[in-house]
Amino acid sequence: MAVNQTAGPSKARITALFCFFALLIVLYTVYLYSMQIVNVGKYLQRAAAVSRRVQIIPAQRGEIYDRNFDVPLVMNTPSFAVDIIPGEVGDSRLEELFRNLGEILEISPAEIADRIPPEYYHLYEPIEIKDSVDYATIVYLAENIDNYPGVNWHDKPKRSYPESGSVTHILGYVGNITPEELQVSYNLGYQRNSIIGKAGVERRYDQVLMGQPGARFQTVDVRGRSINASPGDADIQPQNGQKLVLTIDRRIQELAEKALGDRMGSVVVLKPNTGEILAMVSYPWYDPNIFYTDQRNDYFNSLVADNRFPFINRAISSSFAPASTFKVLMTTAVLGENAFPLNQRVLCAGEKRYGDRVFHCHVLTGHGSLTLEEGLAQSCNIFFYTMGQEYLGIDRIVKYGQAFGLGQLTGIDLAGESPGILPSPLWKEEAFNARWVGGDTLNTSIGQGYLSVTPLQAANLIAMVVNEGVVYRPHVLKEIRDPLTGAVLEEIEPEVLHRMDVSGETFRLVKDYMRGTITNGTARWVITTRATEVAGKTGTGEVGLEDQWSSWFCAYAPYQTDNPDEQVVVVVHIDGYNTWEWWAPKAADMIFQGIFARQTFEEVMEEFKNRWYILELNQRIAEAAASAEAAEAAAAD
Q: Rg for the chain (alpha carbons), in Å?
A: 36
| Burial 44-71, CB ≥16 within 10 A → b, else e | eeeeeeeeebeebebbbbbbbbbbeeee
| DSSP conformation class of 369 | E
Q: Which residues of the chain have pLDDT under 50?
A: 1-3
Q: What is the pLDDT of residue 216?
A: 73
Q: What is the pLDDT of residue 31?
A: 76
Q: How far apart are CA 130 and CA 126, in angstroms?
A: 12
What is the 3 state secondary structure string of 516-547? Answer: HHHHCCCCCCCCCCCCCCCEEEEEEEECCCCC
79-156 topology per CATH: Ribosomal Protein L30; Chain: A, (3.30.1390)
Q: Report helix angle 455-466 to 394-404, nearest 10.
A: 90
Residues 6 or more apart whose Cβ sits within 8 Å of residue 591: 252, 255, 256, 259, 267, 269, 570, 572
Could you give the maximum distance between any two Cα atoms of the chain, in Å? 173
Q: What is the pLDDT of residue 1?
A: 46
Q: What is the pLDDT of residue 158?
A: 86
HSE, side-chain direction, 13 A CA sphere, residue 408? 16
Residues 6 or more apart whose Cβ sits within 8 Å of residue 482: 242, 243, 489
Single pTM value for the model: 0.84
Q: How far apart are CA 244 and CA 350, in angstroms?
A: 54
- ω into 86 cis (within 30 of 0): no
What is the 3 state secondary structure string of 208-241? Answer: HHHCECEEEEEEECCCCCEEECCCCCCCECCECC
Q: Tell me, what amino acid is at 108?
A: S
Torsion sign across C-alpha atoms 262, 263, 265, 266: negative
Q: What is the pLDDT of residue 214?
A: 79
Torsion sign across C-alpha atoms 319, 323, 328, 330: positive
Q: How far apart are CA 497 and CA 29, in angstroms?
A: 73
Q: What is the pLDDT of residue 215?
A: 76
Length, in residues, of the chain: 637
Backbone angles phi, psi at 555, to 5 degrees: -155, 170
Beta pairing class for 496-499 and 535-542: unpaired
Residues 6 or more apart whose Cβ sits within 8 Å of residue 610: none
3-state secondary structure of 497: strand
Contact yes or no for 452/576 (Cβ under 8 A): no
User: Which homologous superfamily is 51-76+158-246 in?
Assistant: Penicillin-binding protein 2a (Domain 2) (3.90.1310.10)
Q: What is the pLDDT of residue 391?
A: 97
Query: For the segment 392-421, what is each residue's pLDDT rounded down to a tens digit?
Result: 999 999 999 999 999 999 999 999 999 999
3-state secondary structure of 489: strand
Torsion sign across C-alpha atoms 449, 451, 454, 455: negative
Residues 6 or more apart whose Cβ sits within 8 Å of residue 486: 69, 243
Q: Which of 567, 559, 575 is nearest to 323 (CA)?
A: 575
Helix or strand holding residue 373 (H, E): helix 372-377
Q: Which of 558, 519, 554, 512 is nearest to 537 (CA)?
A: 554
Angle, CA of 562, 567 and 568, to the nearest 5°: 175
Q: Which of 278, 249, 216 is nearest to 475 (CA)?
A: 278
Residues 6 or more apart whose Cβ sits within 8 Å of residue 284: 262, 264, 306, 308, 310
Q: Which of 414, 486, 415 is nearest to 65 (CA)?
A: 486
- ω into 284 cis (within 30 of 0): yes
Domain ranges of the chain: 51-76+158-246, 79-156, 250-289+313-599, 603-637
Q: How far apart are CA 573 and CA 447, in angstroms?
A: 14
Angle, CA of 29, 31 and 35, to the nearest 5°: 115
Q: How far apart are CA 374 and CA 237, in angstroms?
A: 68
DSSP 547-599: T-EEEEEEEEE-SS-S-GGG-EEEEEEE-TTSPP--HHHHHHHHHHHHHHTT-
CATH of 250-289+313-599, one of 3.40.710.10, 3.30.420.10, 3.60.21.10, 3.40.630.40: 3.40.710.10
Contact yes or no for 537/324 (Cβ under 8 A): yes
